[in-house]
Amino acid sequence: MRIVILGTGNLATQLGMAFHAQHAEIIQVYGRSGACASDLANLLGCIFTTSKLEISTDADLYILAVSEAAITEVLSDAPIRNRLIVHTSGSISIDILATFSNNYGVFYPLQTLSKQKAVDFSAVPICIEANSAENLEKLSRLAKTISDQVFEIDSTQRRQLHLAAVFVCNFVNHFYAIGEKLLQEQKLDYNLIKPLILETASKATLFSPPEVQTGPAVRENQTIMKQHLKMLEQHPEWQELYALISKDISRFHQV
């Protein structure tokens, strides 16, 4: 399967490297920035282009790993006709690709990717969807070369999955950031709460989260909650968050 990667960001890089490690035939990288496209092409041992018109026309699969906004922009000018095209977005429907090809699908790795850390794809769930059984089978075979967890997920489910991911990953990480900041204010080492962060995550993989909820809100400990709200007086935004989330924990556990 000859693959063209469209995009040069975190996802393009990490996905490209995962395929490359499995000896997939990546033939070209497209990117707006010549430096980024060249870097990734070097990593993957292939050619690159910065011109949409020069995107190879004879690949078996085109993987769009660009921002949601750029999907149609890239495809409008690319000379790809009826080859298999997939996007990699959690929140965009498969239908966006229908005007560009008769063969299309989605290849969505459910993981948080950063430049700073290479991800082991073997444990990353890959959510696939396609416009035909044949294309689904192609994507499934490809996905299984890099991951043990491949799932057929439709567009409605996938956007819900992405919404859940925002809560359990993006919002959670922001709370780690708030925790780090609060510790810094009392000259406390952020390392102190790392075991707590890891144990909390580990427990969420062993139990249903509501079963292991701890803390002042679920215990309805008003004294501690009032103390915490007072301590947050210098951070009105976090005070508001604290009150709202505590109320929601209480509501959730009363239902």
Q: Please, which of residues 108-147 interact with its own copies by CB under 8 A? A: 110-114, 116-117, 119, 123-125
Is 162 in contact with 91 (CB distance < 8 Å)?
A: yes
Span from 48-56, 74-82, 136-144, 158-166 in contact with its own copies (CB under 8 A): 158-166
d(CA 62, CA 75): 10
Rg (CA), the chain: 22
Categorise residue 23: left if φ over 0, alpha if ψ from -120 to 50, beta otherwise: left
Residues 209-248 within binding reach of its own copies (CB under 8 A): 209-219, 221, 223-224, 227-228, 231-232, 237-238, 240-242, 244-245, 247-248
Of 81, 156, 234, 254, which one interacts with its own copies (CB under 8 A)? 156
**Closer CB to its own copies, 44 or 110, in the complex:** 110
- Site size for its own copies, by CB under 8 A? 95
Of 50, 94, 60, 108, the closest CA to residue 80 belongs to 60
Is 49 in contact with 37 (CB distance < 8 Å)?
A: yes
Q: How far is the CB of 8 from its own copies (least distance, A)?
A: 16
Q: Does 72 bind its own copies (CB under 8 A)?
A: no
Q: Does 34 bind its own copies (CB under 8 A)?
A: no
Is 107 in contact with 143 (CB distance < 8 Å)?
A: yes
Q: How far is the CB of 102 from its own copies (least distance, A)?
A: 27
Residues 172-191 within binding reach of its own copies (CB under 8 A): 172-180, 182-183, 185-188, 190
Q: How far is the CB of 17 from its own copies (least distance, A)?
A: 16
Q: Does 1 bind its own copies (CB under 8 A)?
A: no
Q: How far is the CB of 128 from its own copies (least distance, A)?
A: 13
Sheet containing 25-30: give its strands across. Answer: 47-49, 25-30, 2-6, 61-64, 84-87, 103-109, 126-130, 150-152
Q: Which two tokens stand for residue 117?
A: 């850390």
**Closer CB to its own copies, 2 or 159, in the complex:** 159
**Closer CB to its own copies, 2 or 144, in the complex:** 144
Length in residues, the chain: 255
Q: Does 35 bind its own copies (CB under 8 A)?
A: no
d(CA 48, CA 26): 11
DSSP letter for each residue of 200-229: HHHHHHHS-GGGG--STTTTT-HHHHHHHH
Span from 21-29, 58-66, 137-145, 149-157 in contact with its own copies (CB under 8 A): 149-157
CA torsion 242-212-202-165 (nearest 10°) is -50
**Closer CB to its own copies, 73 or 134, in the complex:** 73
**Closer CB to its own copies, 47 or 218, in the complex:** 218
Q: Does 195 bind its own copies (CB under 8 A)?
A: yes
